[in-house]
Structure 1
Amino acid sequence: MKLLVDFSALRAAANRMGPPIQIDLSFKTANAPLVRKDITVNTAPPPELVIPEGGMELTDLGQVGIDNNLLTWQGQQVLLYIQDHRARFDAARLDGKVGNRVHLSFCQTLEKMRDSGRFERYVVTRDHSEQFRITGKMLGWREESATTDLKVCKYCLRKLNYEGYGTPGNYAAFTNFSFVKFFQQYESFFPYHPSREAGAPEHYSEDWAEVSRRYRESRRHTCENCGVNFSRRPYLLHTHHINGVRSDNAEHNLKALCADCHSKEPGHYHMAVPHRIRQEIAHLRQEQQRAEAPDWREVFRLADPGLNGLLHHLEAKRAPLPKVGLDIQDGRDAIIANLELAWPSQQIGIAISEADAISAKEQGWRVYRVQLALDRPEKLVDLLRRSR
């Protein structure tokens, strides 16, 4: 007996998932990485590494690590400050400006503390709410606790050259500083990130998944900022609400953006984009010839946000323009590394990942980690000029 089976519903469901993925295989040249089907990224630390709300008191500054000039604890980017304000508690509770500074980096203040053997009961935290728990004596005798808006350490901003703070007269990096934005900017350097979705003020409409799919399809799965086509990797393309209202799905309020461009939109500091995702997008930009940066403005737009301080140094010192997100190939044309910044004619590059740095060095490149380049930018610029 002949069976008649209607597959129309199945085909319709498959079509809603986006265009079919085409993978061209060649035995002569290297192929792009296979598409990652599972894109759920859990960046929360395991339970044993969770820092309690309000921070965790340290017994020694040696418990804090340093990665690319940033403070770390057990693989996590952290902040460091003195919670105990003693007799200054009441004043700091009312105005965070008079309280202790919050440290982002192992700046000269922490270096002096370490070198002198002093320790002031520092607290490590991943809090990004702009409010910090402080303790001290109320009215001179009663122990109390409260939360207040402590300010960032200026020495730390200078060490990182955060938003170009090292430039004389540039105070905006301090006056406009946001701890939320700071954590987002450097997340490529760390495997664990603080959760930031809790503060989202709006919810998406019930049909948002379908609205987003149709809109991205109408734009041929192409990022409207960087121009890269994501038909083969649709999970890298998002739909952005221009006015920030997630329930406003009017077409004029929508914009198709890749995960990298989306995370750089104003007010999108809650977005966590893992380093491997940014590198995958960088690879596609190279592949589709969308990675050209004719000026520093475009370099800043395309580069990983964690390179912001270094880029400000390079621009100020008039360094040659770099390539952004350059793939490095071995002798068989297989892609073995990706450099965040690269000067191909000099074979000099900057890498966030240690593995990328090692692989590129094996191909004859001189590769520097961000921390070294940030500490001595004038040496890097001098090397680039001499190697022309």
Structure 2
Amino acid sequence: MKIKVDFSDLFACAKEMGATIVKENMISSPNASHGLSREEWAPIKKEIDLNEIGSTQGLLRFIDERGVDQQVLLYIEDHGWSIEDALYDIKKRRKFHVADCSTLQKKRGDGTFERYVMTNDFSNQFSITGMEKKSVKVELQVCKNCLKSLNYKNYSCNLDVFNKFSISEFFATYSSFFASLPSRVSGEDDGSYTDDWKIISAKYRASKNYSCEYCAVDLSKNKHLLHTHHKSGVKTNNNLYNLQALCIDCHRKQAHHGHLFVHHEDMVTINNLRRNQGQLKQDNWREVFKFADAALHGLLAKCEHDRCIKPVVAYEMLGGSDEIIAELELAWPKSKNCIVINDDHARVARSHGWHVWTMIEAMDDFLNFKVSVNESRH
């Protein structure tokens, strides 16, 4: 059996001392957000049958030839006679879809769904065509009904989310719902950092005993889950006052860090460590948002606004011998309601009498969801 060990800090320190690193027969450590033995994200280029498009937690998804779930977008490429206006005015262009919203459901019903094409490219460069016009690359805007259905970034109370929408940030927010994520996620090799950044980062994280400076989780045994953050956003300013050690969850929740993709398993690991180390405190809504998966923030914002009972984040469901049998992302133990991402854990919860909701089920049927979580079962 091959064992994967993270030697990145050791290599960085050795390099600083002038040593030559020989990596023959060594397996390099995984990316911070990749974990071990995960399928890589791959661009989808082939023509597909739109009947193969499904949804995961209300988000559009396609299962590729490897059997791996990939998050995708849908848009109408053909702009017909309106192509001339569309080329010069973004508001005249057709919107793209990120969720199985009411607009797409209507299109399925009236037989016009086949006009859509699929992509998982999040560069916001879409090919559009029209009467006597060859394919042209342009930017498109997101569908407002998609934002509404997910309450993305609390869209119901902040309509400016539409104007500031970023596809990559959106994909990253819901990354824990999908098994396959883009390869470059941390940004440490994008050319914006100084040549000695990896050494500086390794030394800084070590100086903080591999603990997150925001949530205080100790990641000394999971060093790949700790990043070094530039507070000012200037990646060439490596002065100590501009650096901060952050776990990948806290890091992606910083402003302008929507490019950080986080796997569901890594979120579970971090919250388990927070709980075991006494850091997972949830005395108020601010702390609930602090520790909850970012993919659930839209639902949580609606819960807080509508005065739902505050949930427990990362609830451990115990068996008869007090062993952990399921991890529930959000739980209302008194009413036995929960939000679960992992299908196996959802089945366990249901078998023990819990009402399991997906994020999108709770959003779509929010009035009944609110009644259910607010009632007490004795």
Same fold at TM > 0.5? yes
Residue 212 of structure 1: which of 190, 201, 218 is its match?
Answer: 201
| Secondary structure of the corresponding residue to residue 114 of structure 1 | helix
Change (3 A) 1:180 1:120: same
Report the counterpart of residue 348 of structure 2 in structure 1.
Answer: 359
Give the Cα–Cα distance (whole angstroms) in 2 for the partners of residues 78 and 13 of structure 1.
Answer: 38
Residue 290 of structure 2: which of 285, 297, 301 is its match?
Answer: 301
- Residue 316 of structure 1 aligns to which amino acid in structure 2? H
In 1, are the aligned partners of 2:12 and 2:198 still within 8 Å (CA)?
no
User: Percent of aligned positions with the same letter in both sequences?
Assistant: 40
Aligned residues: 345
Report the counterpart of residue 123 of structure 2 in structure 1.
Answer: 129
In 2, are the aligned partners of 1:202 and 1:246 still within 8 Å (CA)?
no
Deviation of 1:191 (Å): 1.1
Change (3 A) 1:366 1:190: same
- Residue 191 of structure 1 aligns to which amino acid in structure 2? A
Deviation of 1:223 (Å): 0.6
Report the counterpart of residue 239 of structure 1 in structure 2.
Answer: 228
Report the counterpart of residue 187 of structure 1 in structure 2.
Answer: 175
Give the Cα–Cα distance (whole angstroms) in 2 for the partners of residues 178 and 195 of structure 1.
Answer: 18
| Secondary structure of the corresponding residue to residue 336 of structure 1 | strand
| Secondary structure of the corresponding residue to residue 175 of structure 1 | coil
Q: Note the alpha carbon deviations across 1:19-42, whole angstroms, 9 max, x for none.
A: xxxxxxxxxxxxxxxxxx964425
In 1, are the aligned partners of 2:313 and 2:330 still within 8 Å (CA)?
yes
In 2, are the aligned partners of 1:202 and 1:245 still within 8 Å (CA)?
no
Give the Cα–Cα distance (whole angstroms) in 1 for the partners of residues 317 and 294 of structure 2.
Answer: 21
| Secondary structure of the corresponding residue to residue 156 of structure 2 | coil
Q: Note the alpha carbon deviations across 1:274-318, whole angstroms, 9 max, x for none.
A: 110011001111111212222222222221111122112211210
Q: Aligned pair 1:320/2:301, yes or no?
A: no
Give the Cα–Cα distance (whole angstroms) in 2 for the partners of residues 330 and 160 of structure 1.
Answer: 33
Residue 156 of structure 2: which of 148, 166, 186 is its match?
Answer: 166
Give the Cα–Cα distance (whole angstroms) in 2 for the partners of residues 43 and 93 of structure 1.
Answer: 38
Report the counterpart of residue 155 of structure 1 in structure 2.
Answer: 145
TM-score, structure 2 as length reference: 0.83
- Residue 154 of structure 2 aligns to which amino acid in structure 1? G
**Higher CA-based Rg:** 1
Report the counterpart of residue 30 of structure 1 in structure 2.
Answer: none
Change (3 A) 1:173 1:15: closer
In structure 2, runs of 5+ residues without a counterpart are 1-8, 15-27, 64-68
In the TM superposition, 1:39-118 aligns within 5 A as 39-40=30-31, 41=34, 42-45=38-41, 50-52=43-45, 58-59=48-49, 61-74=50-63, 75-118=69-112
TM-score, structure 1 as length reference: 0.81
In 1, are the aligned partners of 2:95 and 2:140 still within 8 Å (CA)?
yes
- Residue 116 of structure 1 aligns to which amino acid in structure 2? D
- Residue 44 of structure 1 aligns to which amino acid in structure 2? E
What is the RMSD computed on CA atoms of the aligned residues? 2.6
Give the Cα–Cα distance (whole angstroms) in 1 for the partners of residues 29 and 333 of structure 2.
Answer: 34
Report the counterpart of residue 291 of structure 1 in structure 2.
Answer: 280
Give the Cα–Cα distance (whole angstroms) in 2 for the partners of residues 202 and 252 of structure 1.
Answer: 22
Report the counterpart of residue 18 of structure 2 in structure 1.
Answer: none
In 2, are the aligned partners of 1:283 and 1:326 still within 8 Å (CA)?
no
In 1, are the aligned partners of 2:308 and 2:370 still within 8 Å (CA)?
yes
In 1, are the aligned partners of 2:335 and 2:375 still within 8 Å (CA)?
no
Residue 165 of structure 2: which of 171, 177, 180 is its match?
Answer: 177
Report the counterpart of residue 268 of structure 2 in structure 1.
Answer: 279
In 1, are the aligned partners of 2:186 and 2:260 still within 8 Å (CA)?
no
Q: Note the alpha carbon deviations across 1:65-100, whole angstroms, 9 max, x for none.
A: 111111111111111010011221122122222101
In structure 1, runs of 5+ residues without a counterpart are 1-11, 18-36
Stretch moving more, 316-325 or 296-305? 296-305
Change (3 A) 1:115 1:15: closer
In 2, are the aligned partners of 1:292 and 1:323 still within 8 Å (CA)?
no
| Secondary structure of the corresponding residue to residue 81 of structure 1 | strand
Change (3 A) 1:15 1:51: closer
Report the counterpart of residue 336 of structure 2 in structure 1.
Answer: 347
- Residue 118 of structure 1 aligns to which amino acid in structure 2? T
Q: Note the alpha carbon deviations across 1:13-63, whole angstroms, 9 max, x for none.
A: 59969xxxxxxxxxxxxxxxxxxx9644255246xxx412xxx6555x422
Report the counterpart of residue 34 of structure 1 in structure 2.
Answer: none
In 2, are the aligned partners of 1:70 and 1:104 still within 8 Å (CA)?
yes
In 2, are the aligned partners of 1:94 and 1:148 still within 8 Å (CA)?
no
Q: Aligned pair 1:368/2:357, yes or no?
A: yes
Change (3 A) 1:227 1:118: same
- Residue 188 of structure 1 aligns to which amino acid in structure 2? S
Residue 216 of structure 2: which of 196, 202, 227 is its match?
Answer: 227
Deviation of 1:260 (Å): 0.8
Report the counterpart of residue 29 of structure 1 in structure 2.
Answer: none
In 1, are the aligned partners of 2:104 and 2:113 still within 8 Å (CA)?
no
| Secondary structure of the corresponding residue to residue 124 of structure 1 | strand
In 2, are the aligned partners of 1:93 and 1:147 still within 8 Å (CA)?
no
Report the counterpart of residue 8 of structure 1 in structure 2.
Answer: none
